[in-house]
Chains A and B, each alone.
Chain A
Amino acid sequence: MKIDSSLPLEYSTEENRLKIFGFWIFLGAEIMLFATLFTVYFTLETRTGSGPTGSEIFELTPVLWETFLLLSSSFTIGLGVHAMRLGNKKAMMTFFIITLILGLGFLGIEIDEFVTYVHEGATIQTSAFLSALMTLLGTHGAHVTFGFFWGVAILIQVAKRGLNPQTANKAFIFSLYWHFLDVVWIFIFSFVYLKGLIS
């Protein structure tokens, strides 16, 4: 395998470049997936049947915490990739671990949010609005969960094998995924929670 050392590790082989390009295409598909879920949500937003509306169940505080945790985790993973580019394995791993912990915190708050809704009688079966809301949030949360385990697997490989073209490539692609989830969250925060609380 030819390694081009003038490029960052994650881009340094032909196979690496193909994988990064392919993953961007995959993110295009993921954008369509979330766009569809958002479309479904906007279509069904006002169809609350006999159940509660968004403004009745949304609480700003946990949502702000979720946003802070997830956005910070994007920052820390950015620092992690930067450290990786400098060849600093320890710093990279530290930042990645912090990222995953922040992600875990995000998930904890979101699970608590869902449990609260259910206790209030707002379940996924209650109305079209709630079905759409929980599917959109749940899909995002499932992606974060999958990402958590994926991140752990990468960390183990970096710990064992060090930073090489393969592990750097995986870590970089993972960071693209993580940033993408953050962008989706910004849309969720703005167009689901904020919009729901305002109207």
Chain B
Amino acid sequence: MSMEEIFHPLKEPMILGAAISIIVGAVVIAVGLTYFKKWGYFYKNWLSTVDHKKIGIMYIATALLMLFRGGIDALLMRAQTAVPDNGLLDAQHYNEIFTTHGIVMILFMAMPFVIGLMNIVIPLQIGARDVAFPRLNAVSFWLFAAGCGLLNLSFIIGGSPDSGWTAYFPLAGTEFSPTVGNNYYSLALQLSGIGTLLTGVNFITTIIKMRAPGMTLMKMPMFSWSILITNVIIVFAFPVLTVALALMMFDRQFGTQFFAMQNGGMDMLWANLFWVWGHPEVYIVILPAFGIFSEIIATFARKNLYGYKSMVMSMVVISLLSFLVWAHHFYTMGHGVMVNSFFSITTMAIAVPTGVKIFNWLLTMRHGKIQFTTPMLYALGFIPIFTIGGVTGVMLAMSSADYQYHNTMFLVAHFHYVLIPGTVFGVLAGYHYWWPKMFGFRLNEKLGKAGFWFIAISFNVAFFPLFILGLDGYARRMYTYSESTGYGPLSMVSFIGALGLAVGFALIVYNIYYSWKHMPRNEKADVWDGRSLEWATHSPVPEYNFAVVPTVSRLDEFWFAKKEGRDITAGKIEKIHMPNNTGAPFWMSGFFFLAAFFAVFSLWTPAIISMLCVFGFMIHRSFEDDHGRYISVEEVMATEKSLRGDK
């Protein structure tokens, strides 16, 4: 590949501008760290951390950055399509933008946000000191960061992928996509996918094996249940993606014939493999949101979650069914009435347990005492708006009708109506809810509420018109349309909604700065008068989570202990065993990043050398004899004393 080809994206002024600002930003950060002599602190406390809370914060920080990136993609798309025959973006750019928008929002925004929250909250909610494999947890994060970084490099060096986030073959093959964009796709997603798979192993082990004494599975908070089930889906779904991406790489870079148009290749195979992973993936991002809403609705209605057993069963059924519906993503592929009918039925069946959950949330509120805090607003906004997404999902599930909806804006509207009011509202709710637990101060309520209203209303303005446009024949992924189609007015409405969404998200980010400056510190442990164990320990949480691991005898033990006037954290303090920090996950992922980067450009020798370094780290880890350290009783007592002011 010539230098010209590698750096061709920089010929575009917008991209050049973005590249310059990234470099400037990186330089500013580096200079700042040097000036304030914070490199040591940064390396010791963040780059080499194995603390689940810090790892969670890093995930969420990355997710917010990626929300910004994906959001700009969205604004550009909506601006381009706001009027007919617009010249803001040409077809090639538009195609790259909607491709990266999809990849970024699902894999580098929703996933890390969800995984970040699970990292922060799960050990606290189950009364554990950390996850089962803290170092593996760090590896998961840094591999995710490597994949994320790799994909974000593509738009400056070599060119973004441009065949859609679904990368169907033969379009995504070398014949029709000869630039390296789709190599970035196969390799970046592979890297972060490995990280996610390891998270699955880690959290299943943590939740199954490390709950507080007395906390049987059916006495566990609903968020913990949702995360357990989510991680089981991860373990069974992600290997399919691993294979699919490997076969994609082989076809593109080693001339194999898996998805080729000749020599026996089968382009339909890619679509099947991708969606066997892809459908469970959307349940991976929605189930944690369901879990978060369960916590928040119960907390802010001051009432226990209605139908606990039902809520657990419904998530189990959803996760099982999620593996049986994948072909609804391509009913129009021509596999006949029988196959389409089967998948229609399984897909519609998922609506049943989902509906069960909605009704249980509503009944939780009955006879409650509802407080309209920011997290609660997101949960309450979720119910009516997500349900539109859900019912349009049932509509799409009907294979015959889908022959008209497929690949139109109707579909785009549906999945945004489940992803944004579902996943995004969920993580934003969780973010506002658990923020004081992490940082010891609350986010400002006025700004939080303003952000919510901007987002909730603008979302409907932006996306409801798309249902109508889809029914009017407006296909998706089109960079422009002609005036005679009549799609102009509603597209303009949608663009205005997108602007409103941008304001809402800007308010959320501004809230961080404003609250950091103005909100009172020393927030108490039990910020919201909560029900689960994370509210029994200090805000912010000490390194060891709990000085004394609580014993539990029923669901919401903390809530009942408060009613009975009992201190659930009382007990004898003993020395606490903690793992040591290590920079190895960071460095190893760095070499993995290099290996993948070289592979994108088919530079096999440096790629192999980098992989050998990765194996070197694994060998070193194998021979390492690090047994962690102990925090002494005196140190624990001192920390407890200094934090106790918050009780």
Q: A-side interface residues toward B, CB under 8 Å?
A: 1, 17-19, 21-22, 25-26, 28-30, 32-33, 36-37, 40, 43-44, 47-51, 124-132, 135, 149-150, 153-154, 156-157, 161, 166, 170
Contact = CB atoms under 8 A, between A and B. Distances in A.
Contacts of A48: 264
A36 B273 contact: yes
B201 A25 contact: yes
B239 interface: yes
A43 B269 contact: yes
In the A-B complex, the 7 residue pairs with the smallest Cβ-Cβ separation, listed nearest first, are: A47-B264, A128-B264, A49-B263, A131-B256, A33-B239, A32-B239, A49-B264
Contacts, number: 116
B200 A43 contact: no
Interface string B241-260: 01110110011001111101
A33 B133 contact: no
Contact of B197 (A29, A149, A157): A29
Contacts of B237: 32
A158 B374 CA distance: 57
B202 interface: yes
B263 A124 contact: no
29 contacts: A1-B627, A18-B132, A21-B208, A26-B201, A28-B236, A29-B197, A29-B200, A29-B235, A29-B236, A29-B238, A32-B236, A32-B240, A36-B243, A47-B264, A47-B265, A49-B263, A49-B264, A51-B263, A51-B264, A125-B254, A125-B255, A127-B257, A127-B264, A128-B258, A131-B250, A131-B257, A132-B258, A149-B619, A166-B625
Interface residues of B, number: 45
A88 B504 CA distance: 67
Given A29-B235, A128-B257, A129-B264, A22 B132 contact: yes
Given A32-B235, A125-B256, 10 more contacts: A17-B209, A29-B201, A36-B239, A40-B247, A40-B269, A43-B266, A49-B257, A125-B257, A131-B250, A161-B625
Among B200, B235, B251, B627, find the residue whose CB has the most chain A CB atoms closer than 10 A: B235
Nearest to A36: B243
Contacts of B251: 131
Interface of A is mostly: helix
A177 B329 CA distance: 36
A28 B235 contact: yes
Contacts of B256: 124-125, 131, 135
B262 interface: yes
Contacts of A43: 266, 269
Given A18-B132, A128-B263, A135-B250, A25 B257 contact: no
B238 to A, nearest CB: 7
A154 B623 CA distance: 8
A135 B246 CA distance: 10
B485 interface: no
B247 A135 contact: yes
B622 A153 contact: yes
A139 to B, nearest CB: 8
A128 B201 contact: no
Contacts of B244: 36
A65 B551 CA distance: 57
B235 A25 contact: yes
A22 B240 contact: no
A15 B297 CA distance: 36
A18 B209 contact: yes
A33 B257 contact: no
A94 to B, nearest CB: 21
A154 B615 CA distance: 15
Contact of A25 (B204, B246, B622, B627): B204
Contacts of A36: 239-240, 243-244, 273, 276
Nearest to B622: A153
Contacts of A154: 622
B177 interface: no
Contacts of B201: 22, 25-26, 29
A25 B201 CA distance: 6
B354 interface: no
B234 to A, nearest CB: 9
A32 B242 CA distance: 10
A59 to B, nearest CB: 22
Given A29-B238, A40-B269, A21 B197 contact: no
B152 interface: no
A89 to B, nearest CB: 18
Contacts of B254: 124-125
Contacts of B247: 40, 135
Contacts of A29: 197, 200-201, 235-236, 238-239
B346 interface: no
Contact of A153 (B197, B205, B239, B619): B619
B334 to A, nearest CB: 16
Contact of A33 (B202, B242, B255): B242
A165 to B, nearest CB: 11
Interface in B174-212: 197, 200-202, 204-205, 208-210
A153 B623 contact: yes
Among A1, A29, A51, find the residue whose CB has the most chain B CB atoms closer than 10 A: A29
A131 B202 CA distance: 33
Contacts of B265: 47, 128
